[in-house]
Every structure is written in structure tokens, then in C-alpha cells.
Amino acid sequence: MRTVKHFPKDEICPMCGTNEDKECVAIPIDGTSRGNICDGIPVHAECARKGDLRFNREVNVFYKVGIPTGGQ
Ligand SMILES: [Zn+2]
């Protein structure tokens, strides 16, 4: 994952709910790929390291890739 040194001031990390100025990564949003570019949501690198996260805009949730969610 590509990281950015500073967290955007006008965004909030959805994992920890703060916008502390720390290293961050952009989590790809489902269905936004255009070639090798897609929209992303900034999340602190240390928050994102907890899993291989994706964001699903339809249901507004983050989820981890490769882990069965069960049900549905
Ligand atoms: Zn965070």
C-alpha cells in the first residue's frame, strides 16, 4: 500500500475517528476503479495495518479482504 506522510486535515480516519497528523494510506472504494486508479478513503497506516481493508460505499462499511463474513 502506498502511504502518505500527512493525514488530510479535512478528513477523519474512520477506524479511530480522529484526524491526527500521522502517516496514512488510501483505502480503495469498491466500484471506483478506473484503470489502475480508484477513489480511496484516508486511514492511518497503523489503523489500516490491522487488516487488508476495503470500503463498500453501498453499505458504507469497511471490510477485510479474504475473510468470510458469514450469513448473507
Ligand atoms: Zn486512525
Domain boundaries, the chain: 3-64
In the structure, ligand 1 is a single-atom ion and the residues with CB under 5 Å from it are 13, 15-16, 44, 47
Written as one letter, the residue type at 40 is G
> Quick one: which of 29, 31, 27 has its CA closest to 48?
27
Tell me the CA–centroid distance for residue 2 and ligand 1, in Å: 16
* Distance from Cα 5 to the centre of ligand 1, integer Å: 13
The reply to whether the predicted model has a pTM over 0.85 is no
- The pLDDT score that the predictor gives to residue 15 is 82
**Using one digit for the tens of pLDDT, what is the confidence trace for 29-70?**
888 888 877 788 898 988 887 766 777 888 887 777 654 555
Three-class secondary structure of residue 64 per DSSP: strand
Question: CA quadruple 67, 17, 1, 31: dihedral positive or negative?
Answer: positive
